Amino acid sequence: MSNAINEANLSKQIEDLLVAKNLRGMKTVQPALAPGYYQRAARILNKCKGHVLIGTGFPVVDTFETDGPVGAIALYNALEALGATPIIVCGPPVSQALMDEYRVHEIRVGEHQERTLEAFQALYQYNPDAVLSIERPGQAADGGYYNMRGESISERTACFDTFVLNAKCPTIGIGDGGNEIGMGNIQDALKDLDIMASATQVDELLIADVSNWGAYGIIAFLSLWNDKDLLADIKPLEILEYLSKLGSVDGVTRINELTEDGLPVDEGNQIIAELRKLTGFA
């Protein structure tokens, strides 16, 4: 029983740490979520021994942003180390960029009927143990996709919502602003934020100041339960350098630089260091 209490406390500490900056209002909307969401999401992934679909890639101008893919790669590596078979699901150009190094399932922009068929075929093919979305645009109530500035990105956004909505397994969403898959869980709480909110819901929604950090929060629990310091294996700068060479941009500045949401890589490193302390690995 004491372990359960400690883990509940740990989850709350992680949840508070990851929204402490309140960059885009996630600390403000946090009360809309039942505490323990990082623990619950990690519990889902800790059981996975088969395929785990990780949807990511937020279109920015004609390329993709660094927030999302960094966390997706960190989670991919952690899940693979624990015996699962992760697959990154994304659309061009990020799909083409990652294909040489990772298992990638490419999704494409298309009409609703095509999107649904694409999702059904992939879900049948992989029969995943879990479907996770990290910093992936979510459809608004009007069916469109919008960036943080309220601009429509529908023409450039492949649909991962259909995967989440049709999955027969647990679904997880990670977001940092309100327009990502999963934010439909707290639509009412998002009304006061200046955002075209996503309406797509998931089984477990995780929020963070930067979506990449949400992946680190999950990995903290996976490290603890498997007695493996998986957090120490995450090298944000190396991943950013890898993505930058492939054409990534910062989602806030829209510049090809080694940052995430306008923040230097040291901020992500600091989060990892804090999580390692909380889980007793540092």
Q: Which amino acid appears at position 225 of this protein?
A: W
pLDDT at 61: 86
- Homologous superfamily (CATH) for 35-278: TON_0340 (3.90.1640.20)
Q: What is the average per-residue pLDDT within 156-165?
A: 95
Q: What is the average per-residue pLDDT within 171-181?
A: 98
pLDDT at 124: 98
Over 80: is that where the pLDDT of 270 sits?
yes
Instruction: List CB contacts of 243: < 8 A, sequence separation 6 or more.
Output: 66, 69, 70, 97
Over 70: is that where the pLDDT of 275 sits?
yes
Q: Give the CA-trace dihedral at 197, 202, 208, 214, to 10 degrees.
A: -140
Contact 163, 123 (CB under 8 A): yes
Where does the pLDDT of residue 237 fall: very low under 50, low under 70, confident under 90, or very high at 90 and above?
Answer: very high
Name the region of 280 (left: φ>0; alpha: ψ -120 to 50; beta: rest): left
Contact 158, 108 (CB under 8 A): yes
* Tens-digit pLDDT profile for residues 19-71: 999 999 999 999 999 999 999 999 999 999 999 999 999 999 889 999 999 99
Question: Using CA atoms, how far apart are residues 134 and 206, in angstroms rounded to an integer?
Answer: 9
* Tens-digit pLDDT profile for residues 83-141: 999 999 999 999 999 999 999 999 987 777 888 899 999 999 999 999 999 999 999 99
pLDDT at 1: 36
Q: What is the average per-residue pLDDT within 178-205?
A: 97
Over 80: is that where the pLDDT of 5 sits?
no
Instruction: List CB contacts of 144: < 8 A, sequence separation 6 or more.
Output: 152, 154, 196
Strand partners, 260: 263
pLDDT at 91: 92
* DSSP string for residues in 153-167: -GGG----HHHHHH-
Over 50: is that where the pLDDT of 4 sits?
no
Backbone angles phi, psi at 168, to 5 degrees: -100, 15
Return mean pLDDT, the chain. 95
Reported pTM: 0.97
